[in-house]
A and B are shown apart, each in its own frame.
Chain A
Amino acid sequence: MSDKSNQNDDIVFEAIDLSINALRDDKSELPIVKGVNFKVRRGEVVALIGESGSGKTTISLSALGYCKPGLIFAGGQAKLLGHDVTKMSVNELRPLRGEKVAYLAQSAAATFNPSILINEQVTEAAVLHGSKTQQQADEKALALYKALELPDPENIGSRYPHQVSGGQLQRLMAAMALCGDPDLLVLDEPTTALDVTTQIEVLKAFKHVIKVEEAAAIYVTHDLAVVAQIADHIVVLYNGEVKEAGPTETIINSPQHPYTKRLMDAIKPLPEPGQGEQSSDKHLRTSPALEVKQVDAGYGKVRNGKAAVQVLRDINVAIERGKTVGVIGESGCGKSTLARVMAGLLPPAQGDILLDGEPLPPSVRERTTDQLRKVQFVYQMADTALNPRQRIKDIIGRPVQFYDLASGKDVRKRVDELLELVELPVQFADRYPHELSGGQKQRVSLARALAANPEVVLCDEVTSALDTIVGANVIELLKRLRRELGVSFIFISHDLSTVASFADEIVVLYAGRVAEQGPTDRVLSPPYHPYTRLLISSVPETRVGWLEESSESREAQSAVQGDVKLTEKGCPFHTRCPMAIEGTCAELDPPRRVGALGHIIECHLEFDGLS
Chain B
Amino acid sequence: MFPLIVKRLAVGLLTVLAVSIIIFFGTKVLPGDAAQIRLGQAATAENIAAMRERLGLDQPMIVQYWTWLKNFVSGDLGVSLAADVPITDLISDRYKYTLIVSGLTALIGVPISLMLGILGAMFPGSIYDRVLTFISVSLVAAPEFFTATLLVLLFVFWLGMGNAVVVGSIEGKGFFELIKHFALPITTLCFVIASQLIRMSRAAVLNVMSSPYVEMAILKGVPRKRIIFRHALLNALGPIVNVVALNLAYLVTGVIVVEVYFGYPGLATLIVQGVQTRDFVLIQGLGMLFCLTYVILMLIADIAAFASNPRLRHPK
Contacts and interface: CB of A to CB of B under 8 A. Distances in A.
A163 B217 CA distance: 21
Q: How large is the interface on A (under 10, 10 to 19, 20 to 34, 35 or more residues)?
A: 20 to 34
A225 interface: no
A555 to B, nearest CB: 29
A330 interface: no
B310 A114 contact: yes
Contact of B216 (A96, A105, A159, A162): A105
Interface string A63-95: 010100000000000000000000000000111
Contacts, number: 76
Given A110-B211, A110-B212, A128-B223, A115 B235 contact: yes
A128 B216 CA distance: 15
Contacts of A113: 213, 216-217, 231, 234-235
Given A66-B218, A162-B311, A111 B223 contact: no
B181 to A, nearest CB: 41
Contacts of B310: 114-115, 160, 162
B213 A111 contact: yes
Chain A interface, >50% SS class: loop
A115 B308 contact: yes
A98 B215 CA distance: 13
Interface string B187-231: 000000000000000000000000111011111111100100011
Contact of B221 (A61, A96, A105, A110): A96
A103 interface: yes
A12 B53 CA distance: 95
B54 interface: no
B221 A129 contact: yes
B216 A103 contact: yes
Contacts of A64: 219
B316 interface: yes
A541 interface: no
A103 B218 CA distance: 10
Contacts of B231: 113, 116
Interface string A124-152: 11001100000000000000000000000
B212 A125 contact: no
Nearest to B316: A163
A64 B314 CA distance: 35
B230 A116 contact: yes
A99 B211 CA distance: 22
23 contacts: A64-B219, A93-B221, A94-B221, A94-B222, A96-B221, A97-B220, A98-B220, A103-B216, A103-B220, A105-B212, A105-B216, A107-B212, A111-B212, A111-B213, A113-B217, A114-B213, A114-B235, A114-B311, A116-B230, A116-B231, A124-B222, A125-B222, A128-B222
Interface of A: 61, 64, 66, 93-99, 102-103, 105, 107, 110-116, 124-125, 128-129, 159-160, 162-163, 176
9 nearest interchain CB pairs?
A97-B221, A98-B220, A110-B212, A115-B234, A125-B220, A94-B221, A113-B213, A98-B221, A160-B310
